[in-house]
Structures are given as C-alpha cells and as structure tokens.
Amino acid sequence: MPVITINKNDEIMMSLAHYFITKKDYVPINVQGAHDEVWLENIEGPYRVIRICAKSIYNDEQYNIDLYKIRYILKQIKRKTLSFKVPTLNICLNVNNKVNLFNRYDINSITVNSMEEIKENPALNNAFPDIKDNLIESNNNLDLIINVTNDISQKTEKSNKFFEKVFSPKKIIVTKVLILINIIMFLLMYILGNGSTDTMTLLLFGANYAPLVKSGQVWRLLTSAFLHIGLVHLLVNMYSLSIIGTQIENYIGKWKYIAIYIISAISGSLLSLVTGSSISAGASGAIFGLLGSLLYFGYHYRLYLNSVLRNQIIPVIVINLIISFLLPGIDALAHIGGLIGGYLSTMALGIEEKSHKRDKINGWITLTLYLAFLIFMVFFY
C-alpha cells in the first residue's frame, strides 16, 4: 500500500478547516487566485471571516502585501453582504519569527506552528473555547485525509439538504387564496354596490376611514387591505402579491406568511391614520410588509443569495417607496407602516435555522412597542 505523506502545515490547515466547518458552521469562500490558503465565513461567528494561510512570510514587507490582499477581499465581502465591519482572524502557519504580526483594519493576525500551539493560543481559545478538544489528529496521514474529507462531506451534505428545504419550490396556496379573496371583494362591490370607486360602497365594504375607526370600527384596519379602488389598482397589487407573496410563502412558510400579511396590513392602516383622514383601501401596506419580510430573510441568508439583497431586494423597496411619494393618490404612510410591520413581525416569528431566541424576543418587544405607539397616536393622541 503506498505511503501518503503530508507536511506539517497542511496537517494543521486540514485540522483547523475541519474544526471550523464541522463544529462552528463556517462555510468555505471561493477566493480566486488563492493558493495555500483557506477562507471561511460565518456571519454569526466570533470572527466573521477566518483565513488560514500556509504561505511563507519572511519579512514585514511581505506581511504588509498580504494584509493589503486580505483587505481587498474583505471589501468585496462587505459589498456583497452589505456589512460595515468584518472581524477577521488571519491564522498564519509559516511566518518568520522576526515578522511583526500587528493587527489592523479588524484583522487579527496570529501565527501557529504546531497542534500544541493551537491548543495554547489565547486568541483562538478565547474565541473558541472548545477548539483544544475538537481538533482531529492522526499519526496516519491517510486516515487523517479520509476522516477530514468524510466529515466535511457529511457537513456539506447536511447544509445542502437544508438549503434545498428552504429554497426548493413548494406548493403555493396562501398567495392564491389571498388573490382570490381580493378579486371576489372587488367583484362584490360591483354586484352588491355601486362599484369600487364609489365612496359609500367602499365604506360599506370596510375601507379605512379615521372617524369610523376611532368610533370603534377597528376591523377596517384589516378589511381595507382586501379592497381596491379601480381595476388598475387591483391588477397592480395582485401582480405584486403574486411575485412577492410566492417567495415569502416558499421561504418562510404558510402560517408565518399569513401572520406577517395580517400584521403588515394592520400596521400600514394604523400609520395611514396617524396623519391621514381620507378614505383608503388596498393591499399595498400588506405587500410592503412582505417586502420588509423579504428584506429580513435576505439579510440573514445573504451568503446563500449572493448579491440578490443588494442588487434586487433593496432597489425594489427603494424604488417603490420613491414612487409612493412622487405619484398622487398613493398612501405612502401605509406603505412605510406595512414595511416596518413586515420586517418586525418576521423578526418576532423568526426564520428557520437563523433566528435565535433572543432575536425573537427582541422582535416581539419591538413589534409590540411599535404597534402600541401607532395605536396611541391614532386613538389617544
């Protein structure tokens, strides 16, 4: 049987990569032109990025050049994930003793030359207290390679299954039902009333109107989200709902989707009443709430979505908000209220594998305070 040998630095690199990927949920980053180095990322880790480098660094000039390259790659990561700071741990395995590994630009550089040094390094042990107990070691190089490869493959397979569970197409039911309800309500206003543009018909069917809401008809905060003023209004909103609602139903789940939609609709209606006194109706507030939900989801899954958050989700929100303020007859406050309500309700309800208990608690507290403030402004101010 052939003897497989790997050098000391490769062994250390494999052991560290194995630990960070399988125990700390870091994922590899594909860095073009990177040789003898591994880049890992975990948004929720004590270090956002970990770089393990086996290249030789003989003097301070080489180290400065290396830092410049790290900063360039980190700038790309910041742009991609809309991050202002990216704390980075730079683990160097082959550094001359005379080189000054100073820290700069949120980059903490350390050097380790053996497995024992990893277990004793204060920077590593402070950030990762269990590292000394979870490093894979073997006197047999072939066993080491097989074990590391198998463990990382199993971790990758598990991650891929979760990715497929979240992003795979699912049967769309809630969005279709919501669209159907809106269409039925639109038709009923013509069958039982004088049409969708008639003021009295809108009021009879539950449009949002400050004097009536303040007199006790609070159901209008929700029913108004299922009424539309004119065919164009209906078609535009139903098209938007079919696009955005399908994504939210796919990614977040049906029951959470229903809750987010209702909370966003009420939130939009409440903010609309803070300064407005005219009759208003439409699903726009709820739809903006879905955009807020998509923003929260996209931020937490930005590593999977690549540049979708920056190039698609945020521009769509900004453009629609600008249109809301520029075009006459559009209830911009309802859009803003829905957007905030959707974001906070998604934070409170949580998203699978990404939301911690403290995030949900903070979400519920913030959402409750936000809705309480709107209720106070509408009914008691």
Give catalytic residue positions: 284, 335
Planar angle of CA 122, 17, 25, nearest 5 degrees: 90
**How distant, in Å, are the alpha carbons of 72, 91, 113 from that of 60?**
18, 16, 18
Handedness of CA 333, 367, 342, 77 (dihedral sign): positive
* Secondary structure tally for the chain: helices H, strands E: 18, 5
Q: Roughly what angle, to the nearest 10 degrees, separates helices 141-167 and 231-252?
A: 150
| Residue 56: CB atoms within 10 Å | 13
Q: Which tokens in the block code for residue 297?
A: 């989801």
What's the angle, vertex CA 163, arms to CA 157 and CA 165, rounded to 5? 105
**C-alpha 328: how far from chain center:** 33
- Please tell me the distance from the alpha carbon of residue 370 to that of residue 347, in angstroms, as a whole number: 13
For residue 294, give every residue at least 6 positions away whose Cβ sits within 8 Å of its Cβ, in sequence order, or none: 244, 247, 248, 251, 313
Q: Which of 276, 176, 192 is nearest to 205 (CA)?
A: 192
Which 8-state DSSP code applies to residue 121? -
372 in Cβ contact with 321 (< 8 Å): no
- Those residues with Cβ within 8 angstroms of residue 340's Cβ, 6 or more apart along the chain or in another chain: 267, 271, 292, 370
Q: What is the DSSP letter of 84?
A: S
Q: Which residues, other chains included, contact 53 with Cβ-Cβ below 8 Å and sequence gap of 6+?
A: 36, 37, 66, 90, 91, 92, 93, 94
Phi, psi of 25 (to 5 degrees): 60, 30
H/E run at residue 206: none
